[in-house]
Homo-oligomer: A and B are copies of this chain.
């Protein structure tokens, strides 16, 4: 068993104002071993981005994000598929095996149709992902994002899709912020065994200050993060643990003290 801190991965959205170069630098000087870049932060030269990350001794735990499969017209849905093929190419170029998927809202489809569209899109994309040695990792998002970010809202849904897909390159990302409330969470984590492609941590402060950017640093909220991490580990998952915190106040204050704080909280609460 490796030291837990060695599994810490810095998800780039935790310091949204930072460039990729700045995020890589901050990870490097703090001996962080993994990073999760976001696509909108990549440069036009992805080979150079990959080299920057590699030279800092970092591996890429995942690329964020593909998805957003549902759309009002067939043409728009083809565009989404094309964009996801590009995301798979980018993940491959960054030497990561995980493309994190935020599956998207219904966007004019009914909820059942939108959910079927997600499944159809995954069926179509999985052969391409397999050639690139990339896992398409469904991240169930909290139900409060159902209307604008993802119609996949529980681990049970994700597991049901993985059962239906039955493909070695289909996986799931467990994010404590999204799943902590679910009475089925431990049952469904167990059911996710050998299909967990990522594990994300943050915390749920009370009251939650904002729907999108209100999550907080581990220890500032009510989530029993350690119990969830131990459940994920008990399935055999030994991969990186991404810290992913969308928080306006944290972004405004992000400086050289951020990663040391995260490392301290990671050891105390994850």
Instruction: Give the residues in chain B near A195, CB-CB below 8 Å.
Output: none
Contact of B153 with A115 in the complex, beta carbons under 8 Å: no
State the copy count for this chain: 2
Q: Is A211 an interface residue (CB 8 A)?
A: yes
Binds B, one of A49-57, A68-76, A126-134, A142-150: A142-150
Contact of A208 with B144 in the complex, beta carbons under 8 Å: yes
Q: Is A48 an interface residue (CB 8 A)?
A: no
Contact of B147 with A222 in the complex, beta carbons under 8 Å: yes
Instruction: Give the residues in chain B near A111, CB-CB below 8 Å.
Output: 180-181, 183, 224
> CA separation between A182 and B105, bound complex, in Å?
14
Per-residue 0/1 for A138-159: is the Cβ within 8 Å of any B Cβ (1 yes, 0 no)? Answer: 0000111011100001101100
Q: Is A237 an interface residue (CB 8 A)?
A: no
Contact of A183 with B115 in the complex, beta carbons under 8 Å: yes
> CA separation between A144 and B222, bound complex, in Å?
13
Contact of B183 with A147 in the complex, beta carbons under 8 Å: no
Per-residue 0/1 for A106-141: is the Cβ within 8 Å of any B Cβ (1 yes, 0 no)? Answer: 100011000100000000000000000000000000
> CA separation between A204 and B148, bound complex, in Å?
11
Residues of chain A in range 146-190 having any CB-CB distance to chain B below 8 Å: 146-148, 153-154, 156-157, 180-183
Contact of A208 with B206 in the complex, beta carbons under 8 Å: no
Contact of A153 with B183 in the complex, beta carbons under 8 Å: yes
Min Cβ gap A174→B in Å is 16
Instruction: Give the residues in chain B near A115, CB-CB below 8 Å.
Output: 183
Which residue from chain B places its CB closest to the CB of A186 in the assembled complex? B112
Min Cβ gap A96→B in Å is 30
Contact of B144 with A144 in the complex, beta carbons under 8 Å: yes
Contact of A183 with B154 in the complex, beta carbons under 8 Å: yes
Most chain B CB within 10 A, of A143, A153, A206, is at A143
Instruction: Give the residues in chain B near A153, CB-CB below 8 Å.
Output: 181-183
6 shortest A-B CB distances, which residue pairs? A146-B181, A144-B144, A143-B181, A147-B206, A143-B143, A147-B222
Give residues in A with beta carbon < 8 Å to B: 105-106, 110-111, 115, 142-144, 146-148, 153-154, 156-157, 180-183, 204, 206-208, 211, 221-222, 224
A111-B180, A147-B206, A153-B183 known; 10 other A-B pairs, CB under 8 Å?
A: A110-B224, A111-B181, A143-B144, A144-B144, A146-B181, A147-B181, A147-B204, A147-B222, A156-B183, A211-B211
